[in-house]
Amino acid sequence: MLDTSVGAAGEGTGVGHDGFITLDGVEKVFQVRRKAGLLRRERHEVRAVDGISFQVARGEMVGYIGPNGAGKSTTIKMLTGILTPSGGRLRVAGIDPSRERTRLAHRIGVVFGQRTTLWWDLPLRDSYRLMHRMYRIPDRRYQENLDRCVELLDLGELLDVPVRQLSLGQRMRGDIAAALLHDPEVLYLDEPTIGLDVISKAKVRQFLKELNAERGTTVLLTTHDLTDIEQLCRRVMVIDHGRLMYDGSLAGLHEVGESERMLVVDLERELPAISLESEGAGPLARVVKVEGPRQWLAFPASASAAPLVARIAAEYPLMDLSVREPDIEAVIARMYEAAAP
């Protein structure tokens, strides 16, 4: 991908092309037993991951998205060595995760968005001390890494607070720091911004960006928030039904998915649907809903909102406006529609 407009991370950090994370036809099949009658059970197969192949270079920052149950978590679990693949070949930093799980653990950091690994009743600092000793991090490195995380994640005043008293956003920042004290080369983040307020989200994103730029840490994140991807990842992979549907830039995804953004405008008074004619190129946007003075206009996600807003402001009594980004489910749904014959 030569697209440089998306994401600012990763520049000049020695991004290699060595396929740091390599998946080759990786499969994961679950045998599910379902009750059929009183004692009889039916067995059937669920292909959670159905032949996925991709490579991630060292220092890349990649978004891994898809609807619930698409196979995202299963992939992450195979990449961390929690689950053993049913087929295919998988390597992280040259290590087969399922066979050398403990060895790999020293080189990866994992943040599960909804499951904290911090100690509930103890000050944040104590959880970090445990990491220090469990991972046998040399004292100086530990201190340096901790100082850095404390500074960039704004944890200074939280170190001596019991974790149960932290807010969700503070705890997430605490969890991210805990995953980075042993200098992992790869960081897996599973929904790192889920449930966070706007400010916490911004802090987390800023930190990840700097981590990737300064340390060249490879980052793979799953998310439901397209803004995460927009701000962090040049590359996005879409998975659904266990298959890789798309691998490329976010802008490209919007094109493939023909996704639309929504401009919501409040006019001074109730007016008929806005109609804007452009020279020869068809309408700039189409009105999808009118509700009193408020109107919803859909326009291509790849287009800029500025000229559209300018036209409306020039021709209509505009009071207020907002732009809504498409959500992942909608983008993927449209991708299917586009692919279907």
Region from 23-31, 152-160, 195-203, 235-243 binding another protein, contact rule CB under 8 A: 23-31
State residue 275 phi and psi, 5-degree precision. Answer: -130, 125
Q: Does 27 bind another protein (CB under 8 A)?
A: no
Interface with another protein: number of residues (CB under 8 A): 50
Q: Apex CA 94: angle with CA 60 and CA 172, to 5°?
A: 50
Element (DSSP H or E) covering residue 187? strand 186-190
Nearer to another protein, 94 or 292 (CB): 94
Q: Does 185 bind another protein (CB under 8 A)?
A: yes
Element (DSSP H or E) covering residue 312? helix 306-315
Instruction: Give the integer Cα–Cα distance in Å for 60 and 20.
Output: 9
Single residue of 21, 23, 49, 58 touching another protein by CB under 8 A: 58
How far apart, in Å, are the Cα atoms of 341 and each of 51, 335, 337, 338?
23, 12, 8, 8
Q: Does 53 bind another protein (CB under 8 A)?
A: no
Q: Which of residues 74-93 bind another protein (CB under 8 A)?
A: 74, 77, 80-84, 86, 93
Alpha helix (H) residue ranges in 87-234:
101-105, 124-134, 139-152, 168-180, 198-215, 226-232
Q: What is the DSSP letter of 76?
A: H
State residue 185 phi and psi, 5-degree precision. Answer: -85, -25
Single residue of 1, 11, 25, 30 touching another protein by CB under 8 A: 30
Instruction: Give the integer Cα–Cα distance in Å for 232 and 221.
Output: 10
Nearer to another protein, 117 or 302 (CB): 117
Instruction: Give the integer Cα–Cα distance in Å for 317 and 119.
Output: 56
Single residue of 59, 66, 71, 113 touching another protein by CB under 8 A: 59
Q: Does 43 bind another protein (CB under 8 A)?
A: no
Rounded least distance, CB 8 to another protein, Å: 16
Rounded least distance, CB 273 to another protein, Å: 49
Nearer to another protein, 162 or 293 (CB): 162
Rounded least distance, CB 15 to another protein, Å: 9
Rounded least distance, CB 141 to another protein, Å: 5
Convert 275-294 to b/e letters by CB count within 10 Å (16 or more is b). ebeeeeeeebbebeeeeeee
What would the x/- binding string for another protein be over residues 95 to 134, using CB under 8 A? ---x--xxx-xxxx-x-x--x-x-xxxx---x---x--xx
Q: Does 216 bind another protein (CB under 8 A)?
A: yes
Q: Are strands 41-56 and 21-35 parallel, antiparallel or unpaired?
A: antiparallel
Rounded least distance, CB 32 to another protein, Å: 9
Neighbours of 59 (CB within 10 A): 22
Residues that bind another protein (CB under 8 A): 13-14, 16, 18, 28, 30-31, 58-59, 74, 77, 80-84, 86, 93-94, 98, 101-103, 105-108, 110, 112, 115, 117, 119-122, 126, 130, 133-138, 140-141, 162, 183, 185, 214, 216
